[in-house]
Structure 1
Amino acid sequence: MLLIKNGNVMDVDEKKCLNMDILIENGKIVKFEKNILPTENMCVIDASGKIVAPGLVEAHCHLGLVGDSVGIENEDINERSGAISPELRAIDAIDPMDKVFEEAYQGGITSVGTGPGSGNVLGGQFAAIKTYGKRIDSMIIKAPVAMKCAFGENPKRFYGTTKNKPTTRMAIAAMLREILMRAREYMLKKEHAKENNLELPPIDIQLESLIPVLKKEIPLKAHAHKANDIFTAIRIAKEFDLKLTLDHSTDAAVIVDELAKEKYDMIVGPSLGHRTKVELAKKSFKTAGILNKAGIKISITTDSPVIPLQHLPICAALAVKEGLDKWEALKAITINPAQILGIDNRVGSIQVGKDADIVIWSGDLLDIMSDVEYTIIDGKVVYKKI
């Protein structure tokens, strides 16, 4: 058993810090109360004067699919052979041995949603995983958690430059509609065959992969920067009655009045760095605060490797500087992304029964000078600052 004593514990749900002790057993938080008495079989960490926070959560990145310090050999972020690739699973390519995993958990990020990039209209399945481990199968929190789709510039660039479809936004939307229609027909045929004891239709792995989307078990995870792309994603989600998250949402601040009516969860960023393409013209750290004040649930993303994952707290701090409430920023890198990924029953806050993913900071985690002193994942100290 592991006991963390005397820390200033961040309660992100209640937006306050509490002087509490945390008892961990078998990878779970079993007690969260004042003055837990240590016993001989407990390993004790004295967190006096420290901030004890839930492990940080990133809802949108490509961890383990790009490869640090290598080229094409470890680049598995986009399948370039076909714009419609829903059958792909991130877990079949993620490399936990990549250096970026160590950097992530040493930086306090303990859980991520990771998956394919935005080169394809449908890129494949995202997974929610822990950032510590050797084998992806033992790191999975939930898979799949979403189906990646992309609108706008990236699919056009990937395929339009070779004169293949899609070359326009119209084609992107049409291709997505077509595959969803086919998947819906396939799903209904399967259901009819089962109900009437008939022969099942031939297996189609692409259409099979979209059944969880059609059943609203997982959302479409829509890469959308520009306002028109955001609205197209919403239009298609409504046409097929789908769950949807809006990822990146660069133009969202200028259409916030419309988005406030829709109430879709939004993953904002990456807001650090250059405006490297037309779609990023309105990129700003002000966006997160504007959306939050409109009542929209947000999380903040690094889109790693665009921004190194360990800089997630810096991105949150810069959003605070530009108007986002501090506690809302902390929620945007803990409980909100956990809820958006559908894993908040396990991570995102410090509660009895949840996974013991806890980070002990030397000070305010939104202060660039604060250090991670301990990272604990599933009750195990995976990093200790020397």
Structure 2
Amino acid sequence: MKAKSGLRAMTALAGSALAAASLAGSPAQAQERAIAFTDATILTMAGETIEDGTLVIENGKIVAVGAEVTVPADAERRSLDGKVVMPGIVDTHSHIGQVAGADSSGPIQPEVRAMDSINPLSSNIAKARAGGVTTANVMPGSGHLVSGQTYYMKLREGKTVEDIAFAMEDGEAIGGIKFANGTNSMRGSGGFPGTRARSAALVRQTFVEAQAYCDGEKKKRDLAKEALCEVLSGERLVHFHTHRADDIMTVLRLKREFGFDVLIQHGTETYKIADKLAEAGVPVSNITLDAPGGKLETMDLRLDNAGILERAGVLVSIHSDDPIVDSRMMLREAAMAVRGGMSREGALMALTINGAKQMRLDDRVGSLEPGKDADFLVLSGDPLSVYTHVEETWVEGEKLFDRSREEDLLMATGGYGAGSPMEASHHHWEIAEGEGGQ
């Protein structure tokens, strides 16, 4: 079922630029000497918790992890006695980077790309790192039936969108596509639907037309249909914003009819039909808190939703929908899910490996295993304790957040406006100069 992750719709030109960024200019290339983190409690998300464990990284990758590890003779050693190490958080639904998507010209715009609107110097990217996020699915909004292509971001420091792309080795950027149903896209004017039935009909008709295009009926290049061809072939994952149980069942009908792979986003009432989702093998990206100010579709929101899904056998992740939930609060979201009946292990997996599996990124991120990207967190204590802080965030072997640095502490504790794009840029260059710059 696992489809090819690379997405040709990002174009060959973007691919070549991303290849240069991910292979030649990656921050990971600077970390050539092995570093051994010793004496830590290590939550690998791939097996049992390791007490007094050692994590060895080199060249941006994990070399070894375990209770008994041979450390390279020339490795830098660092004791983390009393600390906890866990994989970086994989946020399956975020809007960091000042992202935008489709406009008011129509309800279905699959050709729109989030990557063309992201500001990589936005301070909320640094704030997300302060919360432990190392990979994020950055999505356009949900006011359209199809609002555009999502962007899988690696939270490196970078000046361009290419610098922070989660790219394949050949440079192809990875992302899904955002669909929505329910009231967000129901406007009843300007070509937008006014009812749930009309919403579903418009999506079905769009897929029928795309099928003809994909089968060879191409009079000229159509960017919208190209993206939908990738959906129909399984190359591009559908991230479907949907809340009510009846709307979620509409998504399952569409999936059966057209055969696309889907991840339910939000899924406020998924607990009502958990057995149907388990039977269909459809995963859920869940949010513990939602819709400040009150949204009618979330009236039946329950704290035990994630736990009910877990027990039903549904693959569940936890997302922020930042700024709905600040990315710095994701560990707290997991703790709340446990309060609602989710298992402790399940909640931690929902922050890490489950989201990586859902987005087909688990060969590189989501757990601490040899060969995977060196994306991890150093915590002051139990990740589910309200007293615990993220002390360090490492992305591909580079420490990009350190709570002991004054400017990073601001990102961890400041209010909504903490930092600015200019400050983030200055911070980037200060680090570069401090590590050998002129």
TM-score of the pair, normalised by structure 1:
0.90
Match of 2:377, SS state, is strand
In structure 2, the partner of 1:13 is 46
Between the aligned partners of 2:84 and 2:181, the Cα distance in structure 1 is 40
1:155 aligns with 2:185: yes
Which residue among 131, 139, 146 is the counterpart of 1:122?
Answer: 146
1:138 aligns with 2:163: yes
Matches within 5 A, 1:166-245: 166-189=193-216, 201-245=219-263
Q: Which moved more, 1:339-348 or 1:79-88?
A: 79-88
CA contact (8 A) 2:101 2:112 kept: no
Deviation at 1:77, TM superposition (A): 4.5
Kindly provide the CA deviation profile for residues 148-171 of structure 1, in whole angstroms up to 9, marking residues without a partner as x: 100001001xx33x4642111112
Kindly provide the CA deviation profile for residues 231-268 of structure 1, in whole angstroms up to 9, marking residues without a partner as x: 00110111011111111111111222332322200111
CA contact (8 A) 2:277 2:283 kept: no
Q: 1:262 to 1:58 in 2, by over 3 A?
A: same
Q: CA RMSD in A?
A: 1.7
Kindly provide the CA deviation profile for residues 326-378 of structure 1, in whole angstroms up to 9, marking residues without a partner as x: 00000000000011111111100001000000111010111121111211101
Match of 1:102, SS state, is helix
Which residue among 48, 52, 69 is the counterpart of 2:85?
Answer: 52
The one-letter code matched in structure 1 to 2:54 is: D
CA contact (8 A) 1:270 1:306 kept: no
Q: Percent of aligned pairs with the same residue?
A: 32
CA contact (8 A) 1:125 1:144 kept: no
Deviation at 1:275, TM superposition (A): 6.2
1:107 aligns with 2:140: no
CA contact (8 A) 2:106 2:192 kept: no
Kindly provide the CA deviation profile for residues 61-92 of structure 1, in whole angstroms up to 9, marking residues without a partner as x: 112135xxxxxxxxx24422221110011111
CA contact (8 A) 1:51 1:363 kept: yes
TM-score of the pair, normalised by structure 2:
0.80
Match of 1:104, SS state, is helix
The one-letter code matched in structure 2 to 1:175 is: L
Between the aligned partners of 1:226 and 1:82, the Cα distance in structure 2 is 24
Deviation at 1:272, TM superposition (A): 5.1
In structure 1, the partner of 2:418 is none
Between the aligned partners of 1:91 and 1:163, the Cα distance in structure 2 is 26
Q: Which moved more, 1:242-251 or 1:11-20?
A: 11-20
Match of 1:148, SS state, is strand
